[in-house]
Amino acid sequence: MFINRSPIGIDISDASIEISQVRKIGHKYLITSLNRAPLTDGLVVDGQIQDPAKISEVIKQLMNQSIPHAPRGSSIVMSFPAKKTFIDIFRLLKTTPDKKIRNHLRLKARKKLPIQIDDYNLAYQSIKQNKKYFWYLAALAPKKLINQYQEIARQNNFDLMSIDAEPLCLARALLTSRIISHQDIAILDIGATSTEIHIFDKHGLFWSSSQKIGGNIFDQSISQKLNTPTYQATILREQNGFMANKKEGQIMNILQADCQLLITRIKSTLKYFQKNYQIQIQEIILAGGVSLTPGLDTYLKDNLNIKINIANPLNKFIFKKWPTKWHPTLFSNSLGLCAWRPQLNSKNFNGFNFLKFNPQRFLWRGPIKKILLTLAIITIIVILGYLLFKTSTSFIINNTSSLWKIWFD
């Protein structure tokens, strides 16, 4: 059975770093390396890396201490946090020449988005078409952050294959084309400093947005109300959350105000897309570390009247004995990075890439390795065959000479 080792997926967020590596066995993914480390405050702030050298040190330690063994190879893929990317859909005539698509998309983005386009790298992919138009999902990421990621790769002697967008990484880990062909789905990624909502229809990612409401705001509210240090407030949230039967519902009552603001924004977003694009979200998947707050999934379900599930990448990825110290949802993004691949039958990629990238470099790497391995095996067989033939010939000649001596003597 053909076994294909993935690049190493490295997910850097404000609160932690996760790394993963998998082997693709047929249609499944077997996790071969896994590790995670929390980050001290100030190393990454609002998605911006403040100290690349220290981040590099953390990554080196994670590599050496991964379970069940250290990742192999030097190829890596990384992703930008959704709050640092602008994602939108643009329509172009089918007659637009391939070489001019990027420029046309940049012009459209310049008119629509509130950013300095020249400070951003553009990545895009075609998502649908009719007789006259192509629709492109376009994403822009800041060049300054791209340079930081490249510096981290250089410091660790990594071969950085791709910098992808987080929503597509999550989708590869948590969704299938069969799922989104039957229903519209949203992924709600609740992190320490923000919450991202990613909407998927039958064509894939349709829209992505970030709200500055996250675990830190929840913890600050608890800290202020109970006059307790922030680290203690985090523990109280993680232990009690939205459970009315814990701490007499005290923590739940504090959290409700901030959560209701988030719920209001989610409702307004879903209503907008239902009215203007006929996208009816039937399920929300919760991702991100804060999504594991006890009772949050039930609280959102009761207030949104929508099916809620906590992300579980182990539906697509296999690990023989998952470590109890980590919840699988924490690795959704890094595992989705491992599943990044250029599409062999398309000009586009199964994901974005904000680097200047030659797809053939990636596509031909596997076949070349196979050819070289085959040639090496053939060479070894020929050499062994030659040595065996030479040994056998010498044995026959020596024994024949002895036989002739005995016969004629």
pLDDT at 353 exceeding the cut of 60: yes
- Confidence band of 190 (pLDDT split at 50, 70, 90): very high
pLDDT at 55 exceeding the cut of 50: yes
pLDDT at 312 exceeding the cut of 90: yes
% of residues, the chain, pLDDT over 90: 63
pLDDT at 134: 93
Asked if CATH classification 3.50.50.60 holds for the domain at 178-310, the reply, yes or no, is no
pLDDT at 398: 58
Q: What's the average model confidence in pLDDT over 294-322? A: 94
pLDDT at 378: 87
pLDDT at 364: 45
pLDDT at 344: 38
- Confidence band of 369 (pLDDT split at 50, 70, 90): low
pLDDT at 404: 42
pLDDT at 390 exceeding the cut of 80: no
pLDDT at 357: 52
Q: pTM for this structure?
A: 0.83
pLDDT at 3 exceeding the cut of 80: no
pLDDT at 396: 54
pLDDT at 408 exceeding the cut of 70: no
pLDDT at 360: 46
pLDDT at 270 exceeding the cut of 80: yes
Range of weakest confidence among 45-49, 75-79, 222-226: 45-49
pLDDT at 407 exceeding the cut of 50: no
Q: What's the average model confidence in pLDDT over 248-267? A: 94
pLDDT at 176: 78
pLDDT at 128 exceeding the cut of 90: no
In angstroms, rounded to a whole number, what is the distance separating the alpha carbons of residues 288 and 190?
5
CA atoms within 13 A on the CB side of 167: 28
pLDDT in tens, 323-352: 999 999 999 999 999 988 754 333 333 577
pLDDT at 366: 52
pLDDT at 51 exceeding the cut of 80: yes
pLDDT at 102 exceeding the cut of 50: yes
SS3 annotation, 329-341: HHHHHHHHHHCCE
SS3 annotation, the chain: CCEEECCEEEEECCCEEEEEEEEEECCEEEEEEEEEEECCCCCEECCEECCHHHHHHHHHHHHHCCEECCCCCCEEEEEECHHHCEEEEEEEECCCCHHHHHHHHHHHHHHHCCCCHHHEEEEEEEEEECCCEEEEEEEEEEHHHHHHHHHHHHHCCCEEEEEEEHHHHHHHHHCCHHHHHHCEEEEEEECCCCEEEEEEECCEEEEEEEECCCHHHHHHHHHHHHCCCHHHHHHHHHHHCCCCCCHHHHHHHHHHHHHHHHHHHHHHHHHHHHHHHCCCEEEEEEECHHHHCCCHHHHHHHHHCCEEEECCHHHCEECCCCCCCCCHHHHHHHHHHHCCEECCCCCCEECCCCCCCCHHHHHCHHHHHHHHHHHHHHHHHHHHHHHHHHHHHHHHHHHHHHHHHHHHC
Q: What's the average model confidence in pLDDT over 271-296? A: 94
- Confidence band of 375 (pLDDT split at 50, 70, 90): confident
Pairing, β 86-93 against β 133-142? antiparallel
Mean pLDDT (the chain) is: 87
Q: Which residues contact 230 (CB under 8 A, 6 or more apart)?
A: 219, 220, 223
CA angle in degrees (0–180, nearest 5) for 53-58-59? 95
